[in-house]
């Protein structure tokens, strides 16, 4: 019996699929007032995806969501099913996108490859500090094209926002030059 269970588990483990969903940023450090652009992407794909769903949390008192745009990995030319819900007070953004049930799987596979951008998000930094963008693993995941849940691991993102630098005024070159010349002429006398 043990041998049969072990063989069954090994067989199922070879058929399991896993992917990594992560947030990425071009920079890890920003200043107050900067626009922060993040990419929500999936990688390590071994099968064609049919959809994804995610819930992200962020510090709503320090970051303001400007907008988002879905990628094109679920579009075979006839569109995809996109859903979004944003709670600005709680700092929660839910994004879902699914391929059309009659989509061409070969076109989707070509669009997706082994990884692709699910969505692009834009935030503006309202205050300084270290901020986390976190996935809710209970409300985040992915489906294969044949509607099977795929094992997904998530990678959260931490960014630093620094206070806005105050510009140092450039000295008035002509005024300093004249003051220096007057000082030298007065000293010479």
Element (H, E) at 103: none
Does position 88 have pLDDT exceeding 70, yes or no? yes
The CA-based angle 13-15-18, given to 5 degrees, is 85
Mean pLDDT, residues 82-97 taken together: 97
Q: Is residue 2 part of a domain?
A: no
Per-residue confidence (pLDDT) for residue 171, from 0 to 100? 60
Q: How far apart are CA 11 and CA 72, in angstroms?
A: 34
The enclosing H or E element of 40 equals strand 35-43
pLDDT above 70 for 10: no
State residue 168's pLDDT score: 57
Total number of domains constituting the chain: 1
Q: How far apart are CA 83 and CA 78, in angstroms?
A: 16
Strands 80-87 and 149-155: unpaired
Buried b / exposed e along 126-159 (16+ C-beta atoms within 10 A): eeebebebbbeeeebbbbbbeeeebebebeebeb
CATH of the domain at 48: 2.60.40.680
Structure tokens belonging to residue 103 = 């989509």
Q: Is 22 contained in some domain?
A: yes
Is residue 4 included in any domain, yes or no? no
**Which residues form the domain of 116?**
17-188
Which residues partner with 93 through β-bridges?
A: 56, 86
Mean pLDDT, residues 159-177? 72
Residue 24 has pLDDT above 80, yes or no: yes
What percent of the chain has a predicted confidence (pLDDT) above 70? 84
User: Tokens 């795929």, residue?
Assistant: 150
Domain-embedded: residue 6: no
Q: What is the pLDDT of residue 172?
A: 63
Average pLDDT value for the chain: 86
Kindly report the backbone phi and psi dihedral angles of residue 112, in degrees, each rounded to the nearest multiple of 5, phi listed first.
Answer: -85, -40
Residue with tokens 């008192």, as numbered in its chain: 61
- The reply to whether 153 falls in a domain is yes
Q: What per-residue confidence (pLDDT) applies to 91?
A: 96
Q: Is residue 1 part of a domain?
A: no
Q: Mean of the pLDDT values across residues 162-175?
A: 69
Mean pLDDT, residues 174-186 taken together: 74
Q: Give pLDDT, residue 20.
A: 93
Q: Answer yes or no: are the C-beta atoms of 106 and 69 closer than 8 Å.
A: no
The mean pLDDT value for 16-26 works out to 83
User: Which two tokens mark 41?
Assistant: 């992407």
User: Would residue 160 count as lying in a domain?
Assistant: yes
Q: For the whole model, what pTM was predicted?
A: 0.76
Q: What's the whole-number mean pLDDT along residues 81-96?
A: 97
pLDDT digits (tens, 9 = 90+) for 35-76: 999 999 999 999 999 999 999 999 999 999 999 999 999 999
């Amino acid at each position: 019996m043990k041998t049969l269970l072990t063989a069954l588990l090994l067989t199922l483990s070879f058929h399991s699929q896993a992917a990594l969903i992560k947030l990425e940023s071009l920079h890890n450090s920003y200043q107050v007032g900067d626009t922060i652009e993040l990419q929500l992407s999936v990688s390590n794909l071994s099968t064609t995806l049919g959809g994804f769903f995610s819930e992200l949390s962020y510090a709503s008192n320090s970051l303001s969501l400007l907008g988002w745009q879905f990628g094109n990995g679920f579009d075979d030319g006839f569109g995809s099913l996109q859903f979004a819900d944003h709670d600005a007070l709680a700092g929660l953004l839910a994004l879902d996108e699914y391929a059309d049930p009659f989509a061409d799987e070969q076109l989707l596979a070509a669009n997706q490859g082994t990884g692709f951008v699910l969505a692009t998000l834009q935030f503006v930094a309202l205050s300084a500090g270290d901020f986390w963008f976190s996935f809710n693993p209970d409300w985040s995941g992915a489906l294969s094209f044949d509607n099977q849940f795929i094992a997904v691991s998530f990678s959260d993102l931490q960014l630093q926002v620094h206070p806005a630098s105050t510009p140092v005024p450039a000295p008035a070159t002509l005024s300093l030059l004249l003051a220096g010349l007057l000082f030298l002429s007065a000293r010479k006398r």
